[in-house]
Amino acid sequence: MTTSTPTAASSSTASRWERFRDSYLLYSFKRDPIAQVSLAVFILLVAMALLAPWLAPMNPYDLAQIDILASELPPFWVDGSDPAYLMGTDAQGRDLLSTILYGLRVSLIIGFGAVAMQATLGVCFGLLAGYLGGRVDAFLMRMADIQLSFSTLMVAIVVGALFKAIFGGATFSTYAVPLLVLIIGLAEWPQYARTVRASVLAEKGKEYVDAARVMGLSSRRIMFRHILPNTLSPIFVISTVQVANAIISEAALSFLGLGMPETQPSLGSLIKSGFDYIQSGSWWITLIPGLVLVVLVLVINLLGDWLRDVLNPRLYKG
Amino acid sequence: MSLLEVNHLDVRFALRRGDVQALRDVCFSLDRGERLGIVGESGAGKSVAAFSLLNLIAKPGYIAGGSIAFDGQELIGLSDRALRRIRGHRISMIFQDPMMTLNPVLTIGEQMVECLKAHRRISTRDARAISLRKLEQVQIPSPEARLDQYPHELSGGMRQRVIIAIALLLDPDIIIADEPTTALDVTIQAEIMALLLELCEEHNVGLVLITHDLGVVSQVTQRMLVMYAGRVIEQGPTREIINDPQHPYTQGLLNALPQMATPGERLNQIPGSMPSLSHLPSGCAFHPRCGFVTRPDGSRRQACVDEVPAFVASGNCQAACHMVAEMIERERIPAEEQDS
């Protein structure tokens, strides 16, 4: 009967925390140093991003604090640095550390926002397509195919450029974050829809779905309450990959000048702004944000790998 | 009028090469609190019959004709919303495999509360109280603890008890049990059947028991139907059919029980196997396997090959068989001659 707990009675009275403490998830986490380091780095980065207004020595959005004379100062370990600017300054004299912290924030918001959007759309469409089948399925999946045949960047470039042309650069700057969330979210929903649909098809044939129908539950309840929880593991796994992808997409768009404006930089637009000065020797403006981006994406992907192994029942060693 | 009346039910499956008739002209009725057994080989249409009662046949199956009247209301053609009010509420169902019918990611309590909430405006606290009472009724040890457990934490027999509790949750009028004990081992089978019988009697719930276990049918049900290739071929009070089966197929089924065989010899069996529903033999579907197509005097009864037999009454039972009809006819003629 029960394997994780000695007696049936104690397992049922166990609190959520106790269940978690006995779970395979925690067990595997404790034995995986890569996952531990990744999670630690990820939490550190997120905390730094969240606490940016308190951690950062200056506010890069506040033009009054920017000293143009202090531009292109190198980081502290290079000769000619100013101790006030730990990581040096960029071409406009903004403190690079502060700008990176704020930029990290923007990148994470867009990354998670876009994935939330993708997941909402993709899960709904995937459930509908898989559960209802027939024409609904055919229509939604052809939509997904069409969507996937355009690359994310192409969709984003077209939409971004159109928006800029129609509403002007100033409006674009104001709505840059929600717009990027929308663009990246719309471009990648088929990834979720396909995964969810495949799981739903597998779950739909199981008897508990028949049993739920016999109980007189509505299709909506069966889809969201009974089938969806059974498809959560693949959703979790692709979510990690998709967050990393969304952050990269945003960086790529910003690098192309179609993402965040330089006045409220993300990691991508910082890399871009530094790229112009790399020839003049100011390598740090590009390199340091670039490293932060690489580390962020790397730890998310490593966590995703770990999660995939844990949630894959075929690899279950417990 | 009976609580449930099924008349001339036709169910077909639309396949690419044409329709296949899974049920033909199935008629039966069930009174309040009555227990009916449906028996037959695999593929005879027992489960299709059960699913069609709640209009839950999976595509490409559909109900092609007939009527299903429940408590005076016609179920065929009823809207999905109206059907949902009946499903689980007034007619509930128990499936074969208790390992599969509970959702693995929801606790027992969550599943029970959900079922209650789908049919009644009820607070979670009240719903849990009702669930607890039902779990007590199915004699689950420490029912309180079970509410917060997941299905994988329970054994097969306990899960089937939970499923029975869910079926009883809204005090239904009829429970349809589709081979409720096939997936369980023998000792648990007996316990579960005894429990089901006791609960049905106690709450005056009608039971439609689908099984191929004639022993279970004879213990639990009052009336039974024997199905073959999508048709009902014999029906009547269970005791009479078991003691004196009329139709050669029913005789064959009873004869095939292991306890009917002489020890040390091969078990009896009905030769051949159930025909494919898409290529049914002409006349009586059972005639290629039937030992009575040839009369005792050696002549062949052509009607078996040519005509679909109609039901003939024999005592309280009815059997669809030309041989039985002929025998009754033969008995009646001398009786009439004596009268005149």
How do residues A3-17 score in pLDDT, each as one tens digit?
A: 443 444 444 456 777
Amino acid identity, position B178 = D
Cβ neighbors of B42 (< 8 A, separation 6 or more) are B212, B274
Cα separations (Å) of B320 from A132, A309, B227, B249? 41, 60, 11, 10
How far apart CA A21 and CA A309 sit, in angstroms, is 19
What is the mean pLDDT of the segment spanning A26-52? 89
> In the prediction, which pLDDT does A4 show?
42
Residue B270 lies in a domain: yes
From chain A, pick out residues whose CB is under 8 angstroms from the CB of B114. Answer: 215, 217, 221, 225
Backbone angles phi, psi at B202, to 5 degrees: -60, -45
Question: What are the residue boundaries of the structural domains of chain A, listed by start?
Answer: 30-61+85-312
What pLDDT sits at residue A1? 39
What CATH number labels A30-61+85-312?
1.10.3720.10
Could you tell me the pLDDT band of residue A139, with boundaries at 50, 70 and 90? very high
Identity of residue A286: T
Per the domain annotation, does B10 fall within a domain? Answer: no
Q: In sequence order, what are the beta bridge partners of B225?
A: B38, B235
- Burial of A143 (C-beta count, 10 Å sphere; 0-12/13-18/19+): middle
Residue B340 to residue B337: CA distance in whole angstroms: 5
Residues of B in contact with A218 (CB under 8 A): 84, 118
| Chain B residues near residue A216 by CB distance under 8 angstroms | 83-89, 115, 118-119
- Other beta carbons within 10 Å of B163: 26
- Mean pLDDT across A44-50: 90
Nearest by CB to residue A214, choosing from B93, B142, B149, is B93
pLDDT for residue A130: 92
Chain A positions touching chain B (beta carbons under 8 Å): 1-2, 8-9, 11-13, 206-208, 210-218, 221, 225-226, 229-230, 232
The answer to whether residue B16 sits within a structural domain is no
Contacts of A35 (CB under 8 A, 6+ apart): A28, A29, A302, A303, A306
Q: What residue has token string 């550390």?
A: A97
Q: What's the confidence (pLDDT) of residue A128?
A: 93
Output A190 or A1, whichever has higher pLDDT: A190
- Range with lowest mean pLDDT among A36-45, A233-242, A306-315, B32-41: A306-315
Pairing type for strands B35-39 and B223-228 reads parallel
Rounded distance, CA B208 to CA B223, Å?
10
B88: nearest CA partner in chain A: A215
For position B221, what pLDDT does the model report?
Answer: 92
Average pLDDT, chain A: 82
Check: CB of residue B232 under 8 Å from CB of residue B318.
no
How many domains is chain B built from?
1
Quick check: A208 and B103 in contact, CB under 8 A? yes
- Residues of chain B contacting A214 with CB distance shorter than 8 Å: 54, 56, 87-88, 92-93, 95
Cα separation, A19 vs A31, whole angstroms: 18
- CA torsion through residues A102, A106, A107, A109, sign: positive
Cross-chain residue pair A229–B101, CB shorter than 8 Å: no
Mind listing the pLDDT tens digit for each residue in A194-228? 999 999 998 888 888 888 888 888 888 899 989 99
Predicted confidence (pLDDT) per residue in B207-262, tens digit: 999 988 888 899 899 999 999 988 899 999 999 999 989 899 998 888 888 887 78
- Give the whole-angstrom CA distance, residue B330 versus residue B325: 9
Kindly report the CA angle at B286 between B240 and B217, in degrees rounded to 5? Answer: 35
Q: How many CA atoms lie within 13 A of B108 on its CB side?
A: 32
B335 vs A282: CA distance, rounded Å = 119
How many Å apart are CA B27 and CA B7, to the nearest integer? 4
ipTM of the predicted structure? 0.74
Who has greater pLDDT, B162 or A53?
A: B162
Question: Which amino acid, A96?
Answer: L
B305 part of a folded domain: yes
A179-205 average pLDDT score: 89
Amino acid at A68: I
**Alpha carbon distance, N-terminus to C-terminus of chain B:** 39
B6-to-B14, B32, B46, B66, B70 alpha-carbon distances in Å: 22, 14, 14, 8, 9
The pLDDT score that the predictor gives to residue A6 is 42
**Closest CA–CA distance from residue A191 to any residue of chain B (Å):** 24
CA dist B54 and A39 (Å) reads 51
User: What is the structure's pLDDT at B337?
Assistant: 66
* Residue B269 Cα to chain centre, angstroms: 22
**pLDDT higher than 80, residue A318:** no
pLDDT band at A314 (very low <50, low <70, confident <90, very high): low
Mean pLDDT, consecutive 10-residue segments, chain B of 340 residues?
Answer: 88 87 89 91 84 83 89 87 87 84 89 90 92 91 90 88 90 90 83 90 92 88 91 92 90 85 82 83 87 82 86 86 86 68
In which domain, by residue range, is B325 found?
248-339
Alpha-carbon distances, residue B223 vs B47, B197, B202, B321 (angstroms): 18, 14, 19, 19
Q: What is the pTM of this model?
A: 0.76
Residue with the bigger pLDDT between B287 and A74: it is B287
| % of chain A exceeding 70 in pLDDT | 93
Q: What pLDDT, on the 0 to 100 scale, is given for residue A39?
A: 92
Residue at B87 is within a domain: no
From B163, B167, B153, B170, select the one nearest B119 (Cα to Cα).
B170
User: Does some domain include residue B181?
Assistant: no
